[in-house]
Chains A and B, each alone.
Chain A
């Protein structure tokens, strides 16, 4: 298989404009003849569904939540980047492009990232027009702040709830189209199979979560905007429902999965409190603008109250190691530094898995009311979860799985190697390389949905002769039977363990063997243990209830089954990538504790092709070339 990214020729800055001109158009009167399925209703899915419907396509949109307003994009706190240069501090499209390529440790496609930086400015315009109440200054213009990993203030925000407000903007645009009858919305409906006919994606099979009825839906194109796979680690900042099922099942139907080992561990999350922990909560990275991260210099001081440790006995390790970025060092670097000090035995709090994020200096400098205005809702959330008051004592934080840069492979048009299957947002792999910068996920999700897919999908429709497929096609029958058989199999095991306990075990294994530090030994061990755990699942899981009604145990078990296969792919990718880059840290490949890339051998995308049960997947390569950006060792010192 040859992976052709279809990157337009010409100078980087003109590629997208030229491509938009070169792409074929669908006549306005003909758009209504095309049916599009959008799976997922987060930022990428909702913005795509709304924009496609506005253009005149027939859209069906599916989500497993009870309403499209609940997709996990809603939980993004910090903000959204755009190269507006409203602050007059030297930002530009080129700088946002450069920061993103560098932040991704030179493992993203230049052309995609440049386009992302270009359309970033339109996103803010669009959201403001929808009525999104971004933070403003007294003069009535938009406010900006700086955000982890950037030296300019280009982040737009709405208190600590930027994701919520952007998602509600997209949800409202989608709702308008639903009200107008141009989008048919299917909430509480889960995609369980992708249907491929003659190599083209032609529809999906879904299960109605309320009554268990399995149905087929045919279309001229299928768009997956189903988010990331962070929950393979069980504990992550993802919502409980986030899963890999839609993308993994598309993978099993032939879509290649790119760079699954690129996972982002976010440095500022609330530490685990016990075995009952069901998920982890992020404290926005914006806190690092004013909070200082430290641990005691000596192990012996770790049990003392933070106030009793004088400044001279504290190690502000980010400021010490990365003087120019200090507490704002990128996520992967800040996370590893936290792990390092905890590994040295200098962690604080229960289990010694925590570091302090201290606001005492900020409160002294700015006063408590100012700090409260900036971060009040985050301090309140911290207090609800931990019972501690962070105005009086430092927060305790620890890294947690937060975002996954890997995803289904897509070309420049956001189309996977299966024609007709488009993948948007976190579900694809395209723009963040090996590490995502803060406030870039919202930007990418909305760029894909509002400003890229609406053009490229038309080009796909106009470029080839479409064969209409109906749900009577044998491939739909086959896919429905696969779904029903899987359900029967899950219910028939009647074993002695809950799906949760197996998922928890998988997550622990992934975190220990393939988390912040990975080695040949740890990954080889994981690759032996995961199949055994999968075997345990299929022989000893207990799934209660029946198919014919709301059965959350059954839904969840199906997702865990996919994680048990996908986890192996993730570890295999991590084992094969014999270098360290961004969020992928192989202990064998480091220089003074920092990532050591191997550009000679690994400046490429690894995309895995499924070969069938029990067979090793095939690794395909898309070389990455850098024409505009000089490949350099990423330094934040």
Chain B
């Protein structure tokens, strides 16, 4: 198949950036989207032009590195699919495809399709953990956990931290990301001990980073490659409210 790519190029954070058009010939439908970009990049390198910068690593949908807005939708709009798992058979011959980076104030641009998502790391550092050090912990079976709770915790814990939720949100809110971690740990007895501190600190850090507010439109859930559910945001709100009631402040 033959395609036209409209790709965002931006030299660095200061550059204003813009779209560049590339005609791509003889695309194999079994290629992944990133493999198609690899082919484009090899062509550019041979012409002495810098290849298109984009993040990717595992290329099997779990590391969360890839971060492309394809035809206006984070990861390209196929159910439970990251850009690296999106295959060219999902496009049609002759199609024009637009490729852009995540765009959010809290994710500053680095280059082309690469942005800086370290804000997510700082939110986790503010409280997205259980404060246990190595050693001196009870036997793994000492505390039974209801299967339903553990399964729900796993539903939330699957978040890959890609940031598609932020990219899709009109307010660039990070609520789904924060909700996933707060819910995962609040559902496990091991994480319940610090649930209040955690909710308050993570939300405070989220606000400091400049993410927007949540207006519950659900666009985050729609693009999430791990299908993290919107009801975790309800749980985050409950956890946060509970913490405020018990501790005050916020």
Is A553 among interface residues, defined by CB-CB distance under 8 A? yes
Within 8 A of A (CB), among B57-73: 57-65
Question: Which chain B residues lie closer than 8 Å to A173 at the CB level?
Answer: 129, 132-134
Within 8 A of A (CB), among B40-92: 42, 44-46, 48-51, 53, 55-65, 80-81, 85-87, 89
What 3 A-B pairs come out closest when comparing CB atoms? A140-B144, A179-B125, A172-B129
Question: Which chain A residues lie closer than 8 Å to B135 at the CB level?
Answer: 122, 126, 450-451
Question: Which chain B residues lie closer than 8 Å to A50 at the CB level?
Answer: 134
Q: List 30 A-B contacts (CB under 8 A).
A: A66-B116, A69-B64, A70-B65, A75-B63, A86-B141, A127-B140, A129-B132, A130-B190, A131-B184, A136-B147, A139-B144, A142-B141, A159-B154, A164-B158, A171-B124, A172-B124, A173-B132, A175-B121, A175-B128, A185-B121, A239-B57, A276-B35, A278-B35, A381-B60, A385-B32, A494-B48, A542-B46, A550-B53, A550-B111, A553-B51
Provide the bound-state CA to CA distance between A129 and B120, in Å: 23
Given A67-B117, A125-B138, 17 other A-B residues pairs in contact with their CB atoms under 8 A: A51-B133, A66-B65, A69-B124, A127-B140, A128-B137, A129-B132, A130-B190, A133-B151, A133-B188, A173-B133, A241-B57, A273-B31, A274-B30, A278-B34, A549-B12, A550-B111, A550-B114
Is B1 among interface residues, defined by CB-CB distance under 8 A? no
B11 to A549, Cβ gap below 8 A? Answer: yes
* B39, B58, B138, B161: the one within 8 Å of A239 (CB): B58
Is B131 among interface residues, defined by CB-CB distance under 8 A? yes
Question: Which chain B residues lie closer than 8 Å to A451 at the CB level?
Answer: 134-135
A279 to chain B, nearest CB (A): 5
Within 8 A of A (CB), among B90-128: 110-111, 114, 116-118, 120-121, 124-128
Provide the bound-state CA to CA distance between A397 and B100, in Å: 34
User: Taking CB as reference atom, which chain B residue is nearest A127?
Assistant: B140
A276 to B80, Cβ gap below 8 A? Answer: no
B62 to A549, Cβ gap below 8 A? Answer: no
A544 to B116, Cβ gap below 8 A? Answer: no
User: Taking CB as reference atom, which chain B residue is nearest A542?
Assistant: B45
A67 to B134, Cβ gap below 8 A? Answer: no
B49 to A544, Cβ gap below 8 A? Answer: yes
Provide the bound-state CA to CA distance between A130 and B191, in Å: 8
A240 to B57, Cβ gap below 8 A? Answer: yes
Provide the bound-state CA to CA distance between A51 and B139, in Å: 19
Provide the bound-state CA to CA distance between A276 and B31, in Å: 7
A274 to B31, Cβ gap below 8 A? Answer: yes
Provide the bound-state CA to CA distance between A125 and B55, in Å: 35
* A69, A125, A127: the one within 8 Å of B121 (CB): A69
Question: Which chain B residues lie closer than 8 Å to A66 at the CB level?
Answer: 55, 65, 116-118
- Surface stretch bound by B, among A496-504, A520-528, A605-613: A496-504
Is B199 among interface residues, defined by CB-CB distance under 8 A? no
Within 8 A of B (CB), among A450-476: 450-451, 454
Proximity string of chain A (328-343) to chain B, C-beta cutoff 8 Å, 1 when within and 0 when not? 0000000000000000
- From A131, A171, A384, residue with most partner B Cβ within 10 Å: A131
A427 to chain B, nearest CB (A): 17
* Contact A128/B140 with A278-B34, A542-B45 known, Cβ cut-off 8 Å: yes
Is A539 among interface residues, defined by CB-CB distance under 8 A? no
User: Taking CB as reference atom, which chain A residue is nearest B85?
Assistant: A384
Provide the bound-state CA to CA distance between A164 and B157, in Å: 9
User: Taking CB as reference atom, which chain B residue is nearest A551?
Assistant: B50
Is A74 among interface residues, defined by CB-CB distance under 8 A? yes
Provide the bound-state CA to CA distance between A133 and B86, in Å: 28
Question: Which chain B residues lie closer than 8 Å to A496 at the CB level?
Answer: 46
Question: Which chain A residues lie closer than 8 Å to B133 at the CB level?
Answer: 51, 54, 173
Provide the bound-state CA to CA distance between A451 and B137, in Å: 13
* Contact A175/B138 with A67-B161, A136-B147 known, Cβ cut-off 8 Å: no
A387 to chain B, nearest CB (A): 6
Question: Which chain A residues lie closer than 8 Å to B213 at the CB level?
Answer: none
Question: Which chain A residues lie closer than 8 Å to B147 at the CB level?
Answer: 136-138, 140
Question: Which chain A residues lie closer than 8 Å to B141 at the CB level?
Answer: 86, 141-142
Chain A interface (Cβ within 8 Å of chain B)? 47, 50-51, 54, 65-72, 74-75, 84, 86, 122, 124-131, 133-142, 158-159, 161, 164-165, 168, 171-173, 175-176, 178-179, 185, 187, 210, 239-241, 273-274, 276-279, 281-282, 380-381, 384-387, 450-451, 454, 494, 496, 498, 500-501, 542-545, 549-553
Provide the bound-state CA to CA distance between A65 and B55, in Å: 9
Provide the bound-state CA to CA distance between A126 and B136, in Å: 8
Question: Which chain B residues lie closer than 8 Å to A454 at the CB level?
Answer: 134
Is B153 among interface residues, defined by CB-CB distance under 8 A? yes
Is B4 among interface residues, defined by CB-CB distance under 8 A? no
A172 to B140, Cβ gap below 8 A? Answer: no
A72 to B58, Cβ gap below 8 A? Answer: yes
- From A139, A178, A276, A498, residue with most partner B Cβ within 10 Å: A276
A140 to B125, Cβ gap below 8 A? Answer: no
Question: Which chain B residues lie closer than 8 Å to A175 at the CB level?
Answer: 121, 124-125, 128-129
Within 8 A of A (CB), among B134-167: 134-135, 137-141, 143-147, 150-151, 153-154, 157-158, 160-161
Provide the bound-state CA to CA distance between A451 and B134, in Å: 8
Question: Which chain B residues lie closer than 8 Å to A51 at the CB level?
Answer: 133-134
User: Taking CB as reference atom, which chain B residue is nearest A550?
Assistant: B111
Is B222 among interface residues, defined by CB-CB distance under 8 A? no
Question: Which chain B residues lie closer than 8 Å to A185 at the CB level?
Answer: 121
A77 to chain B, nearest CB (A): 9
* B30, B65, B158: the one within 8 Å of A273 (CB): B30
Question: Which chain B residues lie closer than 8 Å to A552 at the CB level?
Answer: 51, 53
Provide the bound-state CA to CA distance between A342 and B137, in Å: 50
A41 to chain B, nearest CB (A): 11
User: Taking CB as reference atom, which chain A residue is nearest B144?
Assistant: A140
Is B130 among interface residues, defined by CB-CB distance under 8 A? yes
Provide the bound-state CA to CA distance between A123 and B138, in Å: 11
Question: Which chain A residues lie closer than 8 Å to B60 at the CB level?
Answer: 75, 279, 281-282, 381
B15 to chain A, nearest CB (A): 10
Question: Which chain A residues lie closer than 8 Å to B32 at the CB level?
Answer: 278, 385
Provide the bound-state CA to CA distance between A84 and B143, in Å: 15
A1 to chain B, nearest CB (A): 34
Is B28 among interface residues, defined by CB-CB distance under 8 A? yes
B38 to A75, Cβ gap below 8 A? Answer: no
- From B38, B46, B62, B121, residue with most partner A Cβ within 10 Å: B62
Question: Which chain B residues lie closer than 8 Å to A381 at the CB level?
Answer: 60-61, 85
Is B185 among interface residues, defined by CB-CB distance under 8 A? yes
* B39, B50, B126: the one within 8 Å of A553 (CB): B50
A161 to B158, Cβ gap below 8 A? Answer: yes
User: Taking CB as reference atom, which chain B residue is nearest A270?
Assistant: B60
Question: Which chain B residues lie closer than 8 Å to A70 at the CB level?
Answer: 57-58, 63-65, 161
Provide the bound-state CA to CA distance between A54 and B49, in Å: 47
* Contact A72/B110 with A136-B150, A278-B35 known, Cβ cut-off 8 Å: no
B28 to A178, Cβ gap below 8 A? Answer: no
User: Taking CB as reference atom, which chain B residue is nearest A495?
Assistant: B46
Question: Which chain B residues lie closer than 8 Å to A136 at the CB level?
Answer: 145-147, 150-151
Provide the bound-state CA to CA distance between A439 and B158, in Å: 20
A189 to chain B, nearest CB (A): 12
Provide the bound-state CA to CA distance between A54 and B134, in Å: 8
A380 to chain B, nearest CB (A): 7
A208 to chain B, nearest CB (A): 12
* Contact A545/B118 with A130-B132, A176-B129 known, Cβ cut-off 8 Å: no
Question: Which chain A residues lie closer than 8 Å to B140 at the CB level?
Answer: 84, 124-125, 127-128, 134, 142
Question: Which chain A residues lie closer than 8 Å to B185 at the CB level?
Answer: 131
Within 8 A of A (CB), among B11-39: 11-12, 28, 30-32, 34-36, 38-39
Provide the bound-state CA to CA distance between A100 and B206, in Å: 45
* Contact A553/B45 with A136-B147, A168-B157, A175-B124 known, Cβ cut-off 8 Å: yes
B120 to A276, Cβ gap below 8 A? Answer: no
Provide the bound-state CA to CA distance between A616 and B36, in Å: 40
Provide the bound-state CA to CA distance between A66 and B111, in Å: 13
